[in-house]
Amino acid sequence: MAVQNSDRASGLQASWLRTGYAQYPVVCTWIVLALLCTFLWWMGANLNGDVDDLLKLHEIRFLVETGNIYDRTLPNILQPEPFVTHWPWIVDLPYALVTWLLRPFIGLEQALSVASFAVPLAMLLPALYFFYHILAAIGFQTPAAALPLAVLFAVRSFFEFEPGRIDYHNLEMLLLLAAVALLMSERRSAAAANGAIAALALAISTEFAAFFALVMAVYAYDFIFSARDGAMRLASFGATLSAGAVVLFFAIVPFGTYAVARCDSYSAPHLLALACAGGSFIVLPLLLRERGGWMLRAGLLAGLGAASLVVTIGLFPQCLNGPYAVLSDYARDNWLNWIGQEKSLLTRRNFVLSSGIASILIFFIGALAPVMIVGVGKVRDRSLIILALFSILAVIQSVVWFRYFRYVPLFAGLGLPLVFAAFFPMRLKIETYMTVRNYAAPSQKYLLLAPGLVLSLALLLFHLTVKPAEPDAPAAQLADSCDLIATPKFDWPAQSHVLSSPLVGIHLLSPSPNLSIVAIPFHNSGPGIERAYRFLDPQTENPRAIVDEAKATHVAICAWRGKPLAWLENGYSFASALIEGRPPEWLSECATDPSSPLRIYRYVGADGSEPACPTISVER
């Protein structure tokens, strides 16, 4: 009897769990994924983290302390030119609000820690909500059954929501998922909401410009070919796009600088482009309504778009080179072009010819599977076509520019359940895909693998056959090749100004008023980056002049404490001397812990004066 009661209790518990998940699949999935991300954070496995998080923390702290949303000049970074961040304050707002609320009770630093932990996880919930609705829209009769599998394949992208991941990428990803989900709806209200989302996303960053250009293209297509209510959807989208662009402009851009063009952050050229696009989307549908054929509509839209582009470029030609236009050729060649995420997959030989090829294969197969369902199966389901278009764009961008590879798993997660449903149709039957199976031969399911497989093999063969000459790495690249996560905290003497390679600089950055950094690894730190790289460049005849130009009091560099490295000394004599602890007479090494990854030098002035050395902070 006791056994029967136990079995009945177990059955009821399992039934309750199944029922709970069926009713709240998004919430249940969020709880599991949040626990996983929290566990990884607790273990120190920051899978998607990068140095952007360090600068964002510094930026949010400054916003909370000053309350000035328009002052984007960050303290403690002097090249010696001031450093102005390219991120608008609205990206910091969720973290700042949480910090402001908690600061009176637990202090600033603890409040910042709580905000950095909680806000990314909170944003994960709406991201999963829109992800779930996309699954439902593309044809899953029971999207709750497909959600765990989809999240499993997309989890690499969802790690952008791990605690401490406070860069803008997770917010941009949330806005992209919302835009795709709303685009699949044919309601005017969804189009209006999408216009506001597009304005917000493009005000934050132009990184997703191609994705939101595709959003605009879909609404324009509906208008051109007179899809049901297509004209009014385009007008609704254009109205909120224009209104949002104007409101955000006055919210972000300081008074008196409205005519100033900043190519790397929201400013006059961005407003002009969005306002022109939104205005075109409003005027044409209202003027034409049901009149005119598709050629007239397409021609007028294309003409207005071209005119807007000509006007924007004519007024702001300096932005033709994109957000990195502020960088000198030297900084671009020696710093930017050596960053992995700024390269193409065609130049990431070390990634393709490694275990990375497995992730490329899996993600490309999943992302491109909807393309085959639409193309070969001739499926004309609106939602599936939209997913296929965004998936193609994500893959193309990732091949051209590796920084977009982080978003491919998001679309692979939506596509791979379609592949599983084709090979294991049991309970994952998909209405749209069953149409494809009935249309073609049973072997057609293998075609779903073809695009991703062919593209992955093409990349592999390219790198096996084409071996481009690899130039010698800049000395500054070697000068920050150490375990900077283990960088100790220092107490610096007043008015310390440290010249170091950019990665070392961002790890030394702190709120202490005693310390300022010359270079950090961000494009708007271009002058500081160039000075840091020229300081260690073997071609520089007088590195001491660089220290004077930067007004530095100290030099920091990665340390090598083993046997001398002949290859390093032969190619980089000055840099190797500093790395190995053999400084020139005008630099004096400070005592540091032997386990420290860094060497700190103080600069001996021409008059023999020298600043004090930093000490290891008791607050480790």
Report strand pairing: 496-499 vs 554-558: parallel
Report whether pLDDT(202) > 60. Answer: yes
Q: Could you read off the pLDDT of 325-384 as tens digits, one per residue? A: 889 999 999 999 999 899 999 999 889 988 889 999 999 999 999 998 888 766 678 899
| pLDDT at residue 391, rounded to an integer | 97
Dist CA 563 CA 483 (whole Å): 18
pLDDT band of 480, cuts 50, 70, 90? confident
Q: What is the mean pLDDT of the chain?
A: 89
For 306-409, list the strands marked E by DSSP.
none
Nearest by Cα to 340 from 393, 406, 396, 392: 406
Average the pLDDT over 435-455 and give the result: 68
DSSP state of 81: S
Report whether pLDDT(438) > 70. Answer: no
Dist CA 171 CA 113 (whole Å): 18
Report whether pLDDT(559) > 60. Answer: yes
Average the pLDDT over 417-446 and give the result: 57
Q: Could you read off the pLDDT of 107-152 as tens digits, one per residue? A: 999 999 999 999 999 999 999 999 999 999 988 878 888 899 999 9
pLDDT band of 503, cuts 50, 70, 90? very high
Judge contact between 371 and 392, C-beta under 8 A. yes
Ramachandran category for residue 551: left, alpha or beta (phi over 0 → left; psi -120 to 50 → alpha) = left
Structure token digits, residue 265: 């952050």
Q: Is 595 helix (H, G, I), strand (E, B) or coil?
A: coil
Sign (positive or negative) of CA dihedral 109, 114, 115, 121: positive
Dist CA 246 CA 133 (whole Å): 30
Q: Where are the alpha helices (DSSP H) in 225-355?
A: 230-252, 268-288, 294-315, 329-334, 349-352
Considering 180-194, 309-323, 583-597, the range whose residues carry the highest mean pLDDT is 180-194
Q: Say what the pTM is.
A: 0.93
Report strand pairing: 490-491 vs 598-603: unpaired
Report whether pLDDT(246) > 50. Answer: yes
Half-sphere exposure of 556 (CA within 13 A, CB side): 34
Share of the chain above pLDDT 90, in %: 68
| pLDDT at residue 20, rounded to an integer | 75
| pLDDT at residue 16, rounded to an integer | 52
Structure token digits, residue 15: 């039934």
| pLDDT at residue 203, rounded to an integer | 96
pLDDT band of 21, cuts 50, 70, 90? confident
Report strand pairing: 73-78 vs 82-84: antiparallel
| pLDDT at residue 396, rounded to an integer | 97
Q: Measured between alpha carbons, how far apart are the two ends of the chain, in Å?
A: 60
Judge contact between 554 and 497, C-beta under 8 A. yes
Exposure string over 77-87, b if 16+ CB within 10 A, otherwise e? bbbeeebebbb
Query: What are the CA-CA distances from residue 209 to residues 170, 198, 205, 213, 489 (Å)?
Result: 16, 9, 8, 6, 39
